[in-house]
Amino acid sequence: MQLLKDKVVFLTGGTEGIGYECAKTYHKAGAKVSIITHKEDSLKNCRMQFFNDDIHYILADVSKPVDVNRAITETLGRFGKIDVIHNNAGVSNPSKTVCDTTDEEWDKVFNVNVKGIYHTTKYGIAALKETKGTILNTGSLVGDIGQELHAAYTATKGAVNALTKSMALDYAPFGIRVNAVAPAGVWTPMLRRWSNQQPNAAHIEHYLDEIHPLGYCPEGDVVADACLFLVSEHARFITGCILPVSGGAELGYRRYMDQPSAKDGIVLPVNSKAK
């Protein structure tokens, strides 16, 4: 059964990592997908692997209102409607405390991770009202539990959680649902490159497996499957939900004595999402 047959998905950050897995999953489920990225090389590489008449690529920066307005207009011109806006684009840098974060770094992570959602909603809400569509935000488990040396990033993901719930209330009268997924560790090309560069790559892999009570760090397809559920009619009475896709990483007391930490000079990548 194609859960998104004849639906149109506007997906930001869709050429790498979790976003790319979502793009493939949505398309397999019957959707036409407009994939937005600000990375020209990534767009070209993705297009070579994943392309047909139901996939449309747009080079745009979600932090820039003119770019987002153009991308929404272009998607409507190509496919005629928008049923789903999935705000997946995001950045995780800098890996710093609040005091060490510069004004420019702080503004960049908020402009992409939070203001990007503001832009897609502002310019896409009229289309969603027409289709009684849905909005999905990619959050992170750290938005609830925090993480050392990622103060700005975790602040944005906490904001995404609150924004998701407020938007769910604001747009429910129009039949529009708004939800978020909150992954923990996820194997993506970015995370694999990072782990292979560490002095003890095997230890890193063991650590990433062990933070999840289910016993392994997953691939991006597990997040994509959860996203597919939330944007489909199977979730038609779910809104304002922050769905952990974490293998239980938030449960119990799981700080291991041998885990890498800031004191060891190791800063773990947040949420493991390549954008």
CB 27 within 8 A of CB 9: no
CA dist., res. 224 & res. 25, Å (int) = 6
Active site residues: 153
With cut-offs at 50, 70 and 90, classify the pLDDT of residue 259.
low
As to burial, measured by CB atoms within 10 angstroms (0-12 exposed, 13-18 middle, 19+ buried), residue 198 is middle
Q: Over 90: is that where the pLDDT of 270 sits?
A: no
Say what the pLDDT of residue 275 is. Answer: 38
Q: Which domains, and CATH codes, for the chain?
A: 8-186+220-246 (3.40.50.720)
> pLDDT at position 133, please?
98
Peptide bond preceding 94 in cis form (omega within 30 of 0): yes
Amino acid letter, 215: G
State the pLDDT at residue 225.
98
- Residue 179 pLDDT greater than 70, yes or no: yes
Cα–Cα distance, 185 to 212 (Å, whole number): 8
Of residues 59, 45, 46, 3, the one with CA closest to residue 28: 3
- Three-state SS for 252? coil
Nearest CA to 226 out of 168, 266, 183 is that of 183
Q: What percentage of the chain reaches a pLDDT higher than 70?
A: 91
Q: Residue 41 pLDDT more than 90?
A: yes
CA distance 199 to 98: 27
Average pLDDT, the chain: 91
The predicted model gives 184-189 an average pLDDT of 86
C-alpha to C-alpha distances, 147 to 39, 115, 141, 261, 268, nearest whole angstrom: 27, 22, 9, 10, 9
Q: Are 164 and 242 in contact (CB under 8 A)?
A: yes
Enumerate residues 6+ apart whose C-beta is below 8 A from 78. Answer: 34, 56
pLDDT > 90 in the chain, percent: 77
More confident residue, 1 or 40: 40
